[in-house]
Every structure is written in C-alpha cells, then in structure tokens.
Homo-oligomer: A and B are copies of this chain.
Amino acid sequence: MAVTLAELARRFQGRVQGNPDLVIKRAASLDSAGPDDIAFLGDRKYIAKLATTAAGAVILAEAEVAHRAGPALIVENPHLCFARVAQLLHPSPAFKPGAHASAVISPSAHVAASAWVGPHSVVEAGAEIMDDVYIGPGCLVGSGASIGARSRLVGHVVIGDRCVVGEDCLFHPGAIIGSDGFGFVRDRERWQKVPQLGCVIVGNDVEVGANTTIDRGALDDTVIGNGVKLDNLIQIAHNVRIGDNTAIAAFVGIAGSARVGQRCTLGGQVGINGHVEIADDVHVTAQSLVTGSIRQAGVYSSSVKAEPADKWRRNAARLRHLDEMARRLARLEEKLQQHSEESEN
C-alpha cells in the first residue's frame, strides 16, 4: 500500500509540513525508518531523533513541530494517528476464499463463501463461519460454534462447542475458548465434576492473545464485552463477565463468576478472586491481588518492588513479626502517655 502525505492528512485530520505529494509506503520507528517510511514521535525524550531520523515523514504534535525540518504530519494525538496510519499501510494479509484440501469441514457446518478455512483445520457439525472470516492452519471450531464476520483465527486456535464469537475479532495461536470451567464438589476424599454446560460469548472487536484460555460457564455463560483486549497467557474462569473496552495484561487470572467493569486495565500477573465485582474505570497495577469487590473507579495496588535481596530479606523477616511490632508500638505510646501524665502531676 502507498499513500501520499496529503491523503494521510485528509483521512486523519492532520496538517502537512513539506511536500504533500511525498509517497509513504510503510510505518516504522524513528530509528529504522527510511525515505519511504513514516515514523512518529511518541515521547518528547526522543525529540533529538527528529533531526537524525531517515524517515520520509514524521507524525508529531504542534508543540514539537519546530524540531522537525523535513516532511511531517501534524496532528493532535501522534500515537493514535500513527496506529491508524499503520493500519492503513499494513492491512491484514488478503486471502482467497475457500478451504484447503486438508481441512475437515462437517457437512452440517455453514461456511460463508467469502471465508477461508486453512490446512488441517476442523469445523465441526453445525458450526457457522460468517463472511470474510479467516481460519488459519490447525484450528478447531467446535460443534455449534459461531464465528462472526471478518474475524481472524491466526492458526492453532480452539473455539469450543457452542461458543459464539462476534465480528472483527482476532485470535492468536494457542488461544482456547470454551474449555471446561474448574468446577468440582467435594465428595468425601474425592472430587465430583460439575458438568460445565454454559458457553463463552465473545463480543465484537475483541483480541485474544496467544495461549490465553477462557472457560465456558458452568450453567450460564462466560461473557467478554465488545472491544476487550486480552494479552497472552491469561486465564478467565467460568461465568466471568468482562465489560467493554477493558484491557488485560499477561498472566492475569480472573476466578469464577467475577465481574470486571468497562474501560478497566489489569496489569500483568494480577489475580482477581472469585465472585468479586470491579467497577468501571478501575486500574490494577501488576502482581496485585484483588480479594474483595472494588466499587470506586481509581488505581489499586498491592505490588511490592524488588530490591537487593539482602536488604529485602531483613525487611521481609520483620514483616513476619509486624503484628507484634504494632503491639509493642502501642504499648510504648501508652507508657509514654503515662510518663507524661505522671510528670505533669
């Protein structure tokens, strides 16, 4: 794909500095860009690179324009503009509709004429593959599952029986949608399995990272809202509900029946206990543990930063006696109070 700087300015409400007919072919970083490429200045600390970059053009904000002599696209939000320019210049690879000869598609499945089913993929009975869906190599779409228009399974993706995926979704390899929830009841020494009868409902414009797992609901469904972005290696348990446009980083575990609001962000390795409810616009920092409901928007944390181990070990050892320390402190306060009273008398 190739567009002129003027065309980019028109599409993304920017102002051109320099030659408007400059042809741009690729998005790149300030460091690696060449004369056919467009880069962007995302952080003022890299401002010196504006003078040295070989980029054909740079996307930047009005405030930085003085630092750029060559061609530029001046916009309100350079990072956002760059994302949209890069989407335009680097669309998802096109594909021919149809199915690879090695794909195994049930006669009772419906595959849209404009969709593609890749080599060694399996589409089971009653599944529905909508228009322009791309199913890469080695995927499994279970019986009765449904994949909405323009969604893309990169390859090695599993969508379990009866799960419903919306439109414009993107699934990376190893993503597993609709595995059984972890539901067991104690029966003396043993565990009895509670059959997991619900499914997973994924909204539109959802991205699911590599090796992320989303369990089917126990009786009702697990629900992922529109515009949700999930990083790699996330676990979402049965009956969880994630609100629209929430973004979740790697290794986050959300236990059964928890509810996460809209526009939340959960940092890497965060844990959310079962049945907890989290309000809209809540942000949790990496490695924190949410054990109770959060009703107020805001930032929450229980992260502890690493320090040199010998120093940390001494602090951690004291932590194991903190309750005792608190009692000693209270006793001291009391004693000193007595002293003061005595010396006043």
Distance between Cα atoms of A285 and B339 in the complex (Å): 44
Q: Which residues of B contact A340 (CB under 8 A)?
A: 335, 339
Q: How long is the Cα–Cα vector from A197 to B249 in the complex, in angstroms? A: 20
Residues in chain B near residue A253, CB distance under 8 A: 233, 249-251, 268-269
CA distance A209 to B156 in the complex (A): 17
Q: How far is the CA of A206 from the CA of B306 in the complex (A)?
A: 27
* Nearest CB of B to A107, in Å: 14
The reply on A15 being an interface residue by CB < 8 A is no
Once the chains bind, are B320 and A329 in contact (CB under 8 Å)?
no
Is B307's CB under 8 angstroms from A300's CB?
yes
Q: Considering the chains assembled together, what is the distance between the CA atoms of A340 and B335 in angstroms?
A: 9
Residue tally, chain A, CB below 8 Å to B:
131
- From residue 260 to 306 of chain A, which have CB atoms closer than 8 A to chain B? 262-263, 268-269, 271, 273, 284-292, 294, 298-306
Decide: A191 near B306, CB < 8 A? Known: A173-B140, A182-B249, A319-B315.
no
Q: Which A residues have a C-beta under 8 Å from some C-beta of B?
A: 26-29, 31-32, 77, 79-80, 82-84, 86-87, 90, 100, 102, 104, 118-120, 122, 136-138, 140, 154-156, 158, 160, 170, 172-174, 176, 179-180, 182-187, 189-195, 197, 205, 207, 209-211, 213, 215, 218-220, 227, 229, 231-233, 235, 237, 244-245, 247, 249-251, 253, 255, 262-263, 268-269, 271, 273, 284-292, 294, 298-323, 325-326, 328-329, 332-333, 335-336, 339-340, 342-343
